[in-house]
Amino acid sequence: MKDIDQALSNGPFSVNWTEKAELYKTALRDLTSHHRDNCAPYRRILDGMSYDDRSCRGVLDFPYLPVRIFKMHELASVERSQIIRTMTSSGTTGQSVSKIFLDRETSAAQTKALVRITSDFLGSKRLPMIVVDSSEVLKDRLMFSARGAGILGFSMLGREVVYALDGDMRINRGALEDFLAKHSGRNILLFGFTYMIWEHFYKPLADSGGMNIENGVLIHGGGWKKLESASVSAEQFKSSLRETLGITRVHNYYGMVEQTGSIFMECGEGRLHCSVYSDVITRRHRDFSPCDEGEAGLVQVLSLLPRSYPGHSILTEDVGVVTGTDDCPCGRLGRTFKIIGRVQNAEARGCSDTYEKG
């Protein structure tokens, strides 16, 4: 891991693709055998597919788990006693949720990666911070939902954190105005989930005449699914925040509870960036062969962080496009991509659903 440590010390966007591919070949081989040795269910999958690490000649060749497997099975690569936190995805009622098991080491690595990635966009000084959510979400510290984990993780990036919403998801107007008055003229950080920001922050503020947060830098993530069904595009989201709240610096991020920490941040050019901690590969669904640049496919995400659970290489159900390698005008090295959406839920044929829910 010596080369990796070296690479990490140079900043999260300072390694070019050729160099990184070489580093990842070793790192992924190590991670894959670590999980194979320590997680029996993972080993069964690899054995069943006759995985042989000698046949992995490059980054593209390593095995990947379907993201749904974390909803179907509890996968850990450490003793139960080592687990300090279990994170879950925030599924709606009735859906099964992913369970991700963290030990001290992986949890610390996630925090470190998150800080380093975001500080490349925010500067290394901690900013006064508004969390656009309710502090109620953090109540159960042992079982973190993706939402709680996101809030907790990102809160470390700021100082004097204030929560913009109360337990009923209404705006804490008084607290918000005091906060803005106190920090007027200084940069402030806002963090929240895309849909929450739109529904519970932007909309009520727009209805009551707006608010001036022009010193704000907003980081948001969690996916566009709900906003898409409300027909709100990414452009509309940005322009609405600019016009109503004066926020011009808006960064979306792509991440998931299965790979907390090594998030993909969107730069000013509107591209999502792989950092030194992570990478993406897009694959064709008919044979899982890698897509060409510019060709849409299923997104596989790689992360160097997961050691307590086998989540270093995951095939997601998102569709994306790789937009470039080491060539983003923003100057950051590494691959860039865009997310197009989720795989469409087509209905299967079959004969066992006569009395479907109407």
Which residues contact another protein by CB under 8 A? 41, 44-45, 47-50, 65-66, 68-69, 72-73, 285-288, 298, 315, 317, 319, 343-358
Element (H, E) at 17: helix 17-38
Burial class of residue 220 (count of CB atoms within 10 Å of its CB; 0-12, 13-18, 19+): buried
Relative to beta strand 158-165, strand 127-134 is parallel
Tell me how far, at minimum, the Cβ of 73 lies from another protein, in Å.
Answer: 5
Element (H, E) at 20: helix 17-38
Q: Are 309 and 76 in contact (CB under 8 A)?
A: yes
Tokens of 124: 């290394």
How far is residue 264's CA from residue 277's CA, in Å, rounded to a whole number? 10
What is the 3 state secondary structure string of 299-335? EEEEECCCCCCCCCEEEEEEEEEEEEECCCCCCCCCE
Tell me how far, at minimum, the Cβ of 237 lies from another protein, in Å.
Answer: 26
User: Judged by CB, which is closer to another protein: 69, or 196?
Assistant: 69
The CA–CA distances, whole Å, from 287 to 47, 254, 291, 297 equal: 20, 25, 11, 11
Q: Are 158 and 127 in contact (CB under 8 A)?
A: yes
Contacts of 312 (CB under 8 A, 6+ apart): 28, 31, 32, 35, 302, 303, 304, 305, 306
User: Judged by CB, which is closer to another protein: 49, or 181?
Assistant: 49
How far is residue 140's CA from residue 296's CA, in Å, rounded to a whole number? 39
How far is residue 267's CA from residue 11's CA, in Å, rounded to a whole number? 16
Triad 180, 171, 115: Cα angle to 5°: 60
| Number of other CB atoms surrounding residue 70 within 10 Å | 25
